[in-house]
Structure 1
């Protein structure tokens, strides 16, 4: 071979070698580094079937299931596998047209791609599922019926407590805290379902099924070696008494307002009614979206949880707290009396009382039982004007500290979302209102629960727990314990909160004054034979806009109580909007709730009262 051919041969060899090395490098990259084609191959050969676990159950204090699981079916589609199926048959059963069929296929491709299954029709009614199951051979390959646990509510109650679940949204999937969820998963969106989502959700299972080149299932991948079993969610046991809750919702029928009942010994919520309410079964199944739209459009706002989200001026129901603050600061003693003659005149205007007879406010206990406005307005002024403060602003700040220690003006920390903090005006708010020039006459109404103070029913029920316990409370909560779980999530509900340093003597005077309210005062309708009930009625001022003008509307009916007086088992707050005095509606409702809980039944003699309240 001539010498001049050698360089050309070497060049050709170098080119071939370079191409071979390049090919080897590319193949190595694809095999060892790049996973895209491996994943596509797996997706074409192996079907990853999600096994949804049953969500945890929710039980009441007597182990009655108030929220369970039913099984509905999703019709799943794998777009790449859909070929030669009877689309007319499917459209006829689902009552859709071909355009809607194509739109759903396109949505499935956009969300999960062509080779992964997506929901084509979710939570099928039983009749639709039965018809599809009979003809599934007409829809294969490509379609499959997959079981899905959904919630059921046998008592049709406690909707605002339990909350609801729904499919996770695309926006939520982008959030880091939902990284372990995927499209099609259901998640708690309100109430206990949302707070305890991680406990209730359980753990999804996965089954890997091998497919042939025609996309037909051929059995489990390596006999199920890579499959994982679904793990059901943990159950919640509540402090709630579901029969008491149902009674409360019946009593609040055709009314707007709230009932909150708490066990003072534990802080466990026994019932929380928000009226008007709704059947939680409306938020499950195929009609869920339509029902939610109707509820959201309802002007009575059934989704508003009035027990923790609505605020009201407490009216005279706040007078026990005013008394405790004044007694503790030493500005009065239990024997302190006020010469009321039917009104309070010391601030240059008359503020009326219900009583004008002499002696009805000769001491704290009498003033409490007669609900003397003048007495408690004067207590507020005595406290904030005390010389020890060196000015009304410091005195009002001290009064506000007391109200905060009684649980007003801030969130208590109940274990469902959306709690409103309420309002107790501080000195900054009053400075803004009165441009810095104000005194104890400016906001003396707060002494009797009017003016710049607004509370939730939960806060008032918790305040009754404090008085019932003579100075302490536990954070109100619904979940008593979680099955097969440690106590970490619930630890904060076991901590006792001791209120300031109010003396036993102060509590004694207030408690017995509240007992007199029920024994022979404005709360006589709350009496229960053989049980000492302590309570306080209230008529809360209600102002609103009518045709754009702020107007005095019909007052709210308020009653707060606890029973028995010693070793109390229930504390309760009832507010019925636009219902007049506390004695008209709030007192009888509280009476029936307390008797039902303490005696486990309502006597026949009170059946007419039940019927009247339900009408």
Structure 2
């Protein structure tokens, strides 16, 4: 019995020692329980990182972040206050203040809710000066756009939705995310890493300083800077020249695939989608018939018109059904069963390949197109020959996404044989689709694809995937897919006659002499894309100089009529600015800016 008593005493002593040691550890060594006990007096504030800046290729700011604050409240800590003064400081109605506080109470009386977002530093300081209890501000940044341009290219940021939060745990309610453009495409690099600040507050919710001297705080890490390929000065000129018109301009550096210009008209000032007026401005643009938020450069599928003749000429030479020296006469168009279709403008005749490109002869390329589809030399059956033609067209980047680093890119359309089989019940031939010979019919191409086509001809048969980002801060190189050459199915030697024809069109005697600039050797091809809903579209594809090209440009102006009327002068001015860093033809600038293009389908209503 005595030994049992000793054992019991020892056990009790050991247990007491364990409890004492544990209490000592909890109360003295381990502060986590103390922190937990103090939670009611601590406020955890997310520290939002500033988004990374965006620069143009010359190091000029396109996008920056500036200081802003969200106003939050904890309803149970709010005491009676002067709502009139409060609303006046923020710049809202008293009813708005009361409504927001009521929403916060419904959400939680103990947890903080955001009342008003993106307040200026001045507003923050005035609120703190009045010491409204239960309210506090939280630092964040908002975007600002120094140049007020390239809205469709740069994109905008907006609040996350349920889908954003379900896809990435980084985002919480009230966070912002890139919605379009570069802001969306490079969101992960631009957004940075959040931090947290633990603040001690008194019973009234007023801050008393950092908890434990900030030992539990973590710093936000700013987003990484983006160095774009865009030439800001050239982009600005393009947007000025597009004023009052509807269309797009894309310019590419052929040797790299870097996009120098991506301009849309109409566009918008990106600053309009920042701040408290954002919702109102967004709604106005959504209901604008001219769709300023729509990026025509990568999303619109336009008929390429006569610029597409170059593709058919190249394919015909590669397949051996045409040569650069073949001559074809043009009796005002292509004679087809006693009917002239498609018709053509007056020019000297007959023409070889270069002459046909320079004078944009419809008949010539109708002959070439029919030879591709009807000659057994290409393949045994008509269906096989059409499929081969389509395969060659798609090797130029048509009918599919090019794979750029830009969001919203569309495929365009190169109609398949199956499509025509459905439409014509398997009864169709080269006459049926003759409009494809001149880039009409069902053909659809984005301005980005056509600018890439200009770069392909400039490079004599290959291209780099067009891209808008040159470098990301902290990364040595861009993605390898942007440095890989992509070859068409046409051999380099066949491009010489097409290049010669584009040179003649501008510099000798052709459809684009308005685009000539002495000493620049601009090579170009006009296009007038037929439009059943009004005036024809004005199109121009070009590159310069002829040898070692530095820039390839595509301009599409809806309802601008002839290619030489509207699109060619714009491309010519952009080439002059880029290659010489000046414009010596102010009269041409004024001509373009004063050009009147009518859009009755947009103007008769004005808004949806």
The TM-score with structure 1 as length reference comes to 0.87
Equivalent in 147, 150, 157 of residue 155 of structure 1: 147
Given the alignment, which residue of 89, 99, 114 partners 1:103? 99
Output the CA distance in 2 between the equivalents of 1:59 and 1:411: 26
Q: Deviations over 1:258-296 (max 9, x none)?
A: 111000011110001111111111111221111111111
Distance 1:352 1:554, change over 3 A: same
What residue ranges of structure 1 are gaps of 5+ in the alignment?
1-30, 32-36, 545-552
Paired position in structure 2 for 1:122: 117
Shift in Å, 1:79: 2.2
Counterpart for residue 605 of structure 2? none
Aligned match for 1:132, one of 127, 132, 157: 127
Q: How does 1:337-356 map to 2 (within 5 A)?
A: 337-356=327-346
Q: Which of 429, 452, 455 is matched with 1:439 structurally? A: 429
Which of 47, 53, 62 is equivalent to 1:57? 53
Q: Which residue of 2 aligns with 1:571?
A: 552
Give secondary structure in 1 for the equivalent of 2:336.
Answer: coil
Matches within 5 A, 1:231-246: 231-246=221-236
Rate the CA distance shift 1:347–1:149 in 2: closer, same or farther, 3 A: farther
CA displacement, residues 162-209 of structure 1 (integer Å, 9 cap, x when unaligned)? 000112224532x1x221211221111111101111100011111111
Cα deviation, 1:150-173, whole Å, max 9, x if unaligned, reads 111111110000000112224532
Determine whether 1:144 maps to 2:136.
yes
CA distance in 1, matches of 2:469, 2:387: 35
Aligned residues of 2:257 and 2:467 also touching (Cα < 8 A): yes
Q: Which residue, 438, 461, 471 being the options, matches 1:481?
A: 471
Aligned counterparts of 2:234 and 2:154: Cα–Cα separation in 1 = 15
Q: 1:513 aligns with which of 501, 506, 525?
A: 501
Query: Aligned in 2, Cα 1:310/1:317: closer, same or farther, shift over 3 Å?
Result: same
What is the rounded CA distance, in whole Å, between the counterparts of 2:67 and 2:337 in structure 1?
A: 67
CA pair 391-223 structure 1, distance change in 2 beyond 3 A: same
How far did 1:433 drift? 1.4
The 2-side partners of 1:476 and 1:145 are apart by 43
Give, in angstroms, the shift of residue 385 of structure 1.
1.2
Q: Which residue of 2 aligns with 1:87?
A: 83
Preserved contact between residue 307 and residue 540 of structure 2 (Cα < 8 Å): yes
Tell me what 1:291 maps to: 281
* 1:71-109 deviation line (CA, Å, top 9, x unaligned): 122212122322244434313434556654343124335
The residue number in structure 2 matching 1:77 is 73
CA distance in 2 between partners of 1:566 and 1:587 (Å): 20
- Aligned-pair distance for 1:43? 4.2
- Whole-Å separation in 1 of the counterparts to 2:102 and 2:36: 19
Report the CA distance between 1:114 and its aligned residue.
3.4
Q: Quick one: structure 1 residues 38 and 343, their matched pair in 2 at CA, closer, same or farther if it must change by over 3 Å?
A: farther
Counterpart for residue 4 of structure 1: none
Q: Which runs of 5+ in 2 are unaligned?
A: 1-25, 27-32, 595-608
Distance across 2 between alignment mates of 1:434 and 1:534: 39
Output one character per residue of 1:543-567: Cα deviation in whole Å (capped at 9) or x when no partner. Answer: 23xxxxxxxx210010000111111
Q: Alignment partner for residue 161 of structure 2, among 153, 159, 169? A: 169
Q: Structure 1 residues 127, 47: CA separation in 2 closer, same or farther (over 3 Å shift)?
A: closer
Question: Are positions 1:395 and 2:385 aligned together?
Answer: yes
Q: Distance in 2 between matches of 1:39 and 1:197?
A: 35
Report deviation, 1:45. Answer: 2.6
How far 1:219 sits from its partner (Å)? Answer: 2.8
> In structure 2, what is the equivalent of residue 280 of structure 1?
270
Report whether the alignment pairs 1:595 with 2:537.
no
For residue 525 of structure 1, what is the aligned residue in structure 2?
A: 514
Alpha-carbon separation, structure 2, partners of 1:81 and 1:614? 59
Listed as ranges, the matches of 1:332-481 within 5 Å are 332-356=322-346, 359-361=349-351, 363-388=352-377, 389-481=379-471
Q: Map of 1:200-279 to 2, 5 A cutoff?
A: 200-279=190-269
Relative distance call for 1:495 and 1:540 in structure 2 (3 A) is: same
Q: Distance in 1 between matches of 2:245 and 2:364?
A: 33
Alignment match, 1:581: 562
Preserved CA contact (<8 Å) 1:466 1:473: yes
Shift of 1:348: 4.6
Of residues 589, 596, 605, the one that matches 1:610 is 589
When structure 1 is superposed on structure 2, of 343-352 and 71-80 the one drifting more is 343-352
Name the structure 2 match of 1:15.
none
Per-residue CA deviation, residues 369-408 of structure 1 (Å, 9 max, x unaligned), is: 1111011011111001120312221111111111100011
The alignment partner of 2:441 has SS state of coil
Would the alpha carbon gap of residues 365 and 77 (structure 1) be closer, same or farther in structure 2, given more than 3 Å must change?
Answer: same
Q: What's the CA shift for 1:339?
A: 2.3
Shift of 1:586: 0.4
Q: TM-score scaled by structure 2?
A: 0.88
Deviations 1:319-342, CA, capped at 9 Å, x for gaps:
111111000001111111112222
Q: Map 1:289-328; keep pairs closer than 5 Å.
A: 289-328=279-318
Q: 1:349 to 1:122 in 2, by over 3 A?
A: same
The alignment partner of 2:471 has SS state of strand
Kept in 2: contact 1:43–1:116 (CA 8 A)? no
Measure the CA separation in 2 of the matches of 1:38 and 1:379.
85
**How much does 1:131 deviate?**
3.8
